[in-house]
């Protein structure tokens, strides 16, 4: 995530964790603090995708979460060599149909070819 804080990353983790399909699949990845920092800092979220519609759920939650952000935030989603960035600015103006298309595009990018 760029343009966001550790608190926002924790908030995204909470949103993801509230989805029944994602419970127990979301893990915070932290780093040790620098000398002038207190506590560990969450740097990324790791999600165990498995099979089925989990990728679509992740895409929908990330896009919905970004629409609620007041600041410009970019979420980078990666799986192996595939990577896509979704920005709050890029999704705020989308209508319902366009939001569905954006979530589908993200899901297609990260769908496991062995699932279908």
pLDDT digit string (tens) for the chain, length 116 residues: 666 677 888 899 999 999 998 888 898 887 666 777 665 556 788 888 776 678 888 888 998 999 888 778 888 888 778 888 888 888 888 888 998 888 888 888 877 666 55
> Does the model's pTM come out above 0.85?
no
Contact 46, 37 (CB under 8 A): no
> Could you give the CA distance from residue 87 to residue 38 in angstroms, rounded to a whole number?
29
Residues 46-67 have pLDDT tens digits of 888 776 678 888 888 998 999 8
Quick one: tokens of 4? 């966001």
CA distance 49 to 26: 9
Q: Are 88 and 61 in contact (CB under 8 A)?
A: no
Instruction: Give the model's pLDDT for residue 13.
Output: 92
């Amino acid at each position: 995530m760029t343009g966001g804080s550790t608190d926002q990353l924790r908030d995204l983790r909470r949103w993801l964790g509230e989805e029944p399909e994602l419970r127990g699949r979301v893990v915070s990845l932290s780093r040790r603090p620098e000398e002038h920092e207190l506590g560990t800092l969450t740097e990324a979220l790791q999600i165990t995708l498995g099979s089925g519609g989990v990728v679509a759920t992740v895409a929908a939650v990330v896009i919905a979460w970004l629409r609620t952000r007041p600041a410009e935030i970019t979420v980078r989603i990666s799986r192996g060599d595939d990577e896509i960035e979704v920005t709050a600015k890029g999704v705020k103006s989308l209508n319902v149909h366009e939001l569905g298309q954006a979530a589908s595009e993200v899901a297609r990018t990260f769908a496991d070819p062995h699932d279908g």
